[in-house]
């Protein structure tokens, strides 16, 4: 029983109630007792892996707030156990390189496991936004970005740019004055030095060419 409690203590960083972890470890202990064969050697050598396996399965299946691939879950637990061990041994927080050397993982795998820890206990979207003492009603959900409708205009502009450049200079000028400077056709006619009817005709021709470019047959 003391051994089961010590093994359960390895996972105190998970915020799982200690009593629950100890109960799970004891379940593993009972399974080890039921399956133990004295010919396999000392009981502790068989019981420890059994209890640790039971704890890992419990954390893997019950505690993750988001679904994460099983190998990544196992790596996360391995990395966190290594952090506890190295913190005591080194007297400081271990670096990803320290953890990689201690676990046999690559630095990239360690970083991926640390990143996965965010999925262990995700924060609710209606939780208060940290650091917003002046606006207590603001939540994390309020910070979620929305799709910017102007992205579509950027894409459209890129698609139309070659056609616009291919237009005669006067038609380019008329398009700019109408849709960028927001001038009326009469104001454009006065500025360009042609009749309003001519402006209307050139504008229609330009728009027809742009429409054909965005809607090819």
- Express each pLDDT in 109-123 by its tens digit: 999 988 877 666 666
Judged against a pLDDT cut of 90, whether residue 101 lies above it is answered with: yes
In the predicted structure, residue 31 carries a pLDDT above the cut 60? yes
Region 22-33: mean pLDDT is 91
pLDDT above 60 (res 35) = yes
pLDDT tens-place string over residues 189-208: 999 999 999 999 999 999 88
- Which whole number is the average pLDDT over 17-38? 89
- Containing 119, the helix (H) or strand (E) segment is none
Contacts of 140 (CB under 8 A, 6+ apart): 123, 124, 125, 126, 127, 128, 129
pLDDT for position 27: 92
Q: Distance between CA 168 and CA 182 in Å, rounded?
A: 20
Q: Are 73 and 57 in contact (CB under 8 A)?
A: no
As a whole number of Å, the CA-based R_g of the chain is 33
| Per-residue pLDDT tens over the stretch 179-189 | 889 999 999 99
User: Quick one: pLDDT band at residue 64, thresholds 50, 70, 90?
Assistant: low
Residue 128 has pLDDT above 80, yes or no: no
* pLDDT of amino acid 135: 61
pTM, 2 dp: 0.36
| Higher pLDDT, residue 68 or 212 | 212
pLDDT at 60 (0 to 100): 67
DSSP secondary structure letter of residue 127: S
Q: Is 19 exposed, middle or buried (0-12, 13-18, 19+ CB in 10 A)?
A: exposed
Sketch out the chain's domains with CATH numbers: 1-63 (no CATH), 70-123 (1.10.10.10), 150-214 (1.10.10.10)
Q: What is the mean pLDDT of the chain?
A: 83
């Amino acid at each position: 029983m003391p051994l089961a409690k010590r093994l359960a203590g390895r996972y105190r960083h998970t915020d799982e109630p200690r009593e629950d972890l100890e109960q799970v470890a004891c379940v593993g202990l009972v399974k080890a007792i039921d399956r133990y064969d004295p010919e396999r050697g000392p009981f502790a050598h068989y019981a420890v892996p059994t209890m640790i396996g039971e704890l890992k399965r419990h954390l893997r299946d019950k505690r993750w707030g988001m679904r994460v691939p099983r190998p990544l879950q196992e790596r996360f637990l391995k990395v966190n156990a290594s952090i506890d061990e190295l913190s005591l041994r080194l007297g400081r927080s271990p670096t990803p390189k320290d953890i990689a050397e201690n676990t046999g993982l690559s630095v990239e795998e360690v970083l991926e496991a640390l990143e996965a820890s965010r999925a262990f206990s995700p924060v609710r979207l209606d939780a208060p936004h940290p650091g917003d003492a002046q606006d207590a009603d603001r939540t994390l959900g309020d910070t979620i970005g929305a799709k910017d409708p102007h992205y579509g205009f950027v894409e459209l502009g890129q698609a139309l740019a070659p056609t616009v450049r291919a237009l005669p200079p006067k038609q380019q000028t008329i398009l700019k004055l109408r849709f960028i400077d927001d001038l009326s056709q009469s104001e454009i006619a006065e500025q360009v030095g042609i009749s309003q009817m001519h402006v209307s005709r050139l504008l229609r021709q330009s728009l027809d060419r742009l429409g054909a470019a965005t809607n090819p047959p």
